[in-house]
A and B are shown apart, each in its own frame.
Chain A
Amino acid sequence: KQEVTQIPAALSVPEGENLVLNCSFTDSAIYNLQWFRQDPGKGLTSLLLIQSSQREQTSGRLNASLDKSSGRSTLYIAASQPGDSATYLCAVRKVPSPGSSNTGKLIFGQGTTLQVKP
C-alpha cells in the first residue's frame, strides 16, 4: 500500500530564509509526483509536477526534486516571503494494480504548514 509522509507537519521561518519541505513515499511504482499549495479555507493550487523519469522541476523561486528509487521528493523555496505562508501538500500518482480501471490514483501526504514571519 502506497503511503505518503510529509515531515515536519509545521514549520516557521523568518522572511528571506531558504527552506526545504520533505515528502517521502513507500512504493516507487509511480507515474509522477505533484506539489500543491493550499491557503486556509481554499482549494489546492498546483505548483509543480515531476514525471517519474525526471529529476527536478523549477518554477520561479520553487524547485522540486524527485528521487524515485529512495522514495523522496523535496520542495525548495528560495528567499521565502510572508506570502509563501500556506500548507504545502505532495501527492504521488501511483501505477494502478493490474485490472484496475483507474488510470493512476493520486495519494496525498498530510501536508506541511509553513509560516514565514516578516
Chain B
Amino acid sequence: DGGITQSPKYLFRKEGQNVTLSCEQNLNHDAMYWYRQDPGQGLRLIYYSQIVNDFQKGDIAEGYSVSREKKESFPLTVTSAQKNPTAFYLCASRRGAAPNQPQHFGDGTRLSIL
C-alpha cells in the first residue's frame, strides 16, 4: 500500500544532541513537508520541499535542518540549537505543486527531551 512512513514513532533527545527524524513516501509525490504540533496549537510549518535537491524554510525553521536528496525521502534533523524540541512532528506530502492537490500525512514522531 502506498503511504508515508515516519520513524521512529518515539524519540528521546539528550541535551546538546542532534537527532534525525525519518520520512519516506512511496506515493511518487513531488512535494514534502514537515510540521510541528504542540498541545492546543495548530500545526506549524518547519520546512518544505517542492522538488528534489530544493527546499525552503517554513514559519519556524530555526534549530532545524532538512535534506532532499531523493524524491521519496525528506529527513528532518532537530539540532541542539532548537531549545524547545519536545513536540509531535508530522511529515506530509502531495502529488505536485498545483494547489488543488490534497495533502497527506504520516503517523508522526513524538520527540521528548531526557
Contacts and interface: CB of A to CB of B under 8 A. Distances in A.
A in complex with B? yes
A44 interface: yes
B16 interface: no
A106 B103 contact: yes
B55 to A, nearest CB: 11
Interface residues of A, number: 28
Interface size class of B (residues with CB under 8 A): 20 to 34
B114 interface: no
Chain A interface secondary structure, helix, strand, loop or mixed?
strand
A88 interface: no
Interface string B69-100: 00000000000000000001010100001111
Interface of B: 4, 6, 33, 40-43, 45, 48, 50, 56, 88, 90, 92, 97-100, 102-108, 110
